Amino acid sequence: MLNFIQNLGLYTDFYELAMAQGYYFCGKKNETATFDYFFRTNPFQGGFTVFAGLADFLEILEQFTYSKEDIEFLKAQGFKPEFLNYLKKFRFSGNIFSMQEGEIVFPNEPVLKVESNIIEAQLVESLLLNILNFESLIATKAFRIKMVAGENVFSDFGLRRAQGFGSIYASRAACIGGASSTSNVLAGKLYGIPVTGTIAHSWIQSFDNELDAFRTYSQSNPEHVILLVDTYDTLRSGVPNAIIVGNELKEKGYRLKAIRLDSGDLAYLSKKARKMLDDAGLNDVKIIASNQLNEHVVQSLLHDQKAPIDTFGIGTEMITGKPDAALDGVYKLAEVNHQPKMKLSENIEKTTLPGNKQVYRFFDATGNFSIDGIFCSDESIQDLNPVYHPVYPEKNTILKGLNYESLLSSVVSNGKVIVKANSPAEIHNYAIKRAACLPVEHKRFISPHIYKVGISKKLLEKRNALTKQLNTQNYSK
Residue 2 has pLDDT above 70, yes or no: no
**Residue predicted with more confidence, 475 or 147:** 147
Count, in order, helices (H) and strands (E) of the chain. Answer: 16, 21
More confident residue, 380 or 252: 252
Q: For 389-417, write each residue's pLDDT tens digit.
A: 999 899 999 998 899 999 999 999 999 99
Contacts for 13 with CB less than 8 Å, ≥ 6 apart: 125, 126
**Distance separating alpha carbons of residues 38 and 359, to the nearest angstrom:** 12
347-397 confidence digits (pLDDT tens): 877 899 999 999 999 999 999 999 999 999 999 887 667 999 999 899 999
- Tell me, what's the pLDDT at 195? 97
Q: Any idea what the Cα angle at residue 73 is, between residues 67 and 79, rounded to 5°?
A: 105
Task: Report d(CA 157, CA 197) in Å as an integer.
Answer: 8
Mean pLDDT computed over 290-315: 97
Query: What is the rounded distance in angstroms from the CA atom of residue 456 to the CA atom of residue 476?
Result: 30
Q: How far apart are CA 442 and CA 430, in angstroms?
A: 18
Rounded CA-CA distance 369/104 in Å is 10
What is the per-residue pLDDT for 5? 61
Quote the CA–CA distance of 161 and 158 in Å, as a whole number.
Answer: 5
Can you tell me the distance from the alpha carbon of 420 to that of 427, in angstroms, rounded to the nearest whole number? 12
What pLDDT shows up at residue 345?
84
Q: What are phi and psi of 90, to 5 degrees?
A: -65, 130
* pTM of the predicted structure, to 2 decimals: 0.95
User: What letter would DSSP give residue 195?
Assistant: B
Shortest CA distance to 36 belongs to which of 89, 148, 114? 114
- Go through the domains of the chain in sequence order and give each one's CATH number: 147-319 (3.20.20.70)
pLDDT digits (tens, 9 = 90+) for 160-192: 999 999 999 999 999 999 999 999 999 999 999
Q: How many CA atoms lie within 13 Å of 19's alpha carbon, on the beta-carbon side?
A: 14
Q: Is the pLDDT of residue 42 over 90?
A: yes
By DSSP bridging, strand 387-388 and strand 396-397 are antiparallel
Going by C-alpha positions, the residue among 57, 2, 8, 134 that lies closest to residue 421 is 57
> Of the ranges 60-64, 144-148, 393-397, 400-404, which is most confident?
144-148
Q: Is the separation of the CB atoms in 79 and 133 below 8 Å? A: no
pLDDT band of 6, cuts 50, 70, 90: confident
Is 38 exposed, middle or buried, given 0-12, 13-18 or 19+ CB atoms closer than 10 A?
buried
Q: What is the mean pLDDT of the chain?
A: 95
Beta strands in 291-328 (DSSP E): 311-314
Average pLDDT over residues 246-255: 96
pLDDT tens-digit readout, 81-107: 999 999 999 999 999 999 999 999 999
Which pLDDT score is estimated for 64?
95
**Distance (Å, rounded) from C-alpha 116 to C-alpha 16?**
15
Give, to the nearest 10 degrees, the angle between helix 14-25 and helix 81-88. Answer: 110
Helix, coil or strand: residue 303: helix
